[in-house]
Structure 1
Amino acid sequence: MSLTFNEQNYHQLCDQLAQADADFAAVIQAYGYPPYWSRANTFESLVHIILEQQVSLASALSALNKLKERVQQITPSRVLMLTDEELKACYFSRQKATYTKYLAGALLGGKLNLEELEQLPDQEVRARLTALKGIGNWTTDIYLLMVLHRTDVFPIGDLAIINALKRLKQLPSTTTKEELLARAETWRPYRSIAAMLLWHYYLGHRR
């Protein structure tokens, strides 16, 4: 079974990484502990992550809120009742409307069971999610990290994490993803906590 973290041991794990890596210690010293970013294991959370693909967090949230306004409760059956035009009015692109409806159908048809995923190892969760249209590794990484709270996920497809890691470690802009992943190996089995610290650093540095 894959390791998980929770609100109780979160700061302790941050401290553990800070002891092993002086740059993380400096992040905590400058900005405090990262927030405990967490989402419920629901259809709504997965729709939210799909909406966040390649757009700003603010515009994703605005589309999610618009959808909530329209259907009150974001459930697979309610979403499937909407036309493409109605989803477009909720700021969904054509692609994201397709992905969301496909996910709703997979949940209603029993092809995917979110509660079951809680019991499965990371790789099996990844295999089941990426088998669905519109769900790739980045979406799966965010789900594993923020919803299932698995300790050893590193979303290398996340631009904020890549930029934060290059800046924190003073790496050249030409550093490849493979080289960044090799660096992240030193944080196993707590790469998720490292990702949280990097997001926190990225947001703090921007402010």
Structure 2
Amino acid sequence: MFFEYGDKEIEYLKKRDKKLGEVIDRIGHIYRPVDTDLFSSVIHHIIGQQISTKAQETVWRRLCDRVGSVNAEAVCSVESDELQGFGMTYRKAGYIKDFAERVRNGETDLNRISELSDDEVVKELSSIKGIGVWTAEMIMIFSMHRPDIVSFGDLAIIRGMRMLYRHKIIDRKRFERYRKRYSPYGTVASLYLWAVAGGAIPEIAKCVPKKKKEDRK
């Protein structure tokens, strides 16, 4: 399953932002996989923090091979030492065990979280050990399919903005201006900003402005 969007979102963004519209036309439709199971998505994102995508998938595959279906009961049945043996840190293993226990005993109600507003979801997920604002925002995109998420804490999105609009820096004020411009389809804009940051359009990648020394402080 991929993040779903279509002509409505594309036409809106193209009308609102000419430069982004040109990128959309150049790149075409972006297919980004999503995991609609909120529990497994949280586990997957905790595993992936501060490691490469390849390493994340290796650890995830080992966990899946061990438990089969990644659910609260299955994860609770695995000891922290064994989780660590899959290639994650002991701290991450602790976060995963804590989250699974909270879901199993009803302290964290994933069905209720799914019904909350974006801001409320961030607040609720951020109360879970091992999940910060950025991770909560990624979960909202890649599991909850929320349509209007643009993360200020995502370095690739900020880089994509710098490259696309030729800015040396993207501060909070400038970021908010773009985020509001993309709304209510910020998530689709995020997909294209990630693509730009990844070099999808070579001539844009070659022209990214360099930060001044004082900007890097």
Residue 202 (structure 1) aligned to one of 197, 203, 216: 197
Q: TM-score, normalised by structure 2?
A: 0.83
* Structure possessing the higher relative contact order (Cα contacts under 8 Å, 6 or more residues apart): 1
Structure 1's 51 and 111: CA in aligned 2 closer, same or farther, altered over 3 A?
A: same
Q: Is it true that 1:149 corresponds to 2:145 in the alignment?
A: yes
Q: 1:9 to 1:72 in 2, by over 3 A?
A: closer
Matched with 1:187 is 182
* Long gaps (5+) in structure 2: 203-217
Which whole-Å CA distance do the structure 2 matches of 1:15 and 1:8 have between them? 15
Q: Which amino acid aligns with 1:132?
A: I
Paired with 2:173 and 2:55, the residues of 1 have a C-alpha distance of 30
Corresponding residue for 2:85? 89
Q: How many residues end up aligned between the 2 structures?
A: 201
Q: TM-score, normalised by structure 1?
A: 0.86
| Deviation of the 1:195 alpha carbon | 0.9
Q: Residue in 1 aligned with 2:159?
A: 163
The AA in structure 2 aligned to 1:203 is: G
- Structure number with greater Rg is 2
- Tell me how far apart the structure 2 counterparts of residues 15 and 90 of structure 1 sit (CA, whole Å): 45
Alignment of 1:50-89 (within 5 A): 50-89=46-85
Matched, 1:47 2:40: no
1:182 counterpart letter in structure 2: R
8 Å Cα contact 2:36-2:143 kept in structure 1? yes
Quick one: percent identity of the two aligned structures? 26
RMSD: 2.2
Is residue 3–residue 31 contact of structure 2 (8 Å, CA) maintained in 1?
Answer: no
Q: Report if aligned partners of 1:10, 1:36 keep a CA contact under 8 Å in 2.
A: no
Shift of 1:50: 1.4
Letter in 1 for 2:144: L
Task: Return closer, same or farther for 1:11/1:100 CA change in 2, 3 Å cut-off.
Answer: farther
Q: Structure 1 segments of 4 or more deviating over 4 A?
A: 6-9
Contact map agreement 1:76 1:105 (CA 8 A) in 2 = yes
SS at match of 2:188: helix
Any stretches of 5+ residues in structure 1 without a counterpart? 1-5
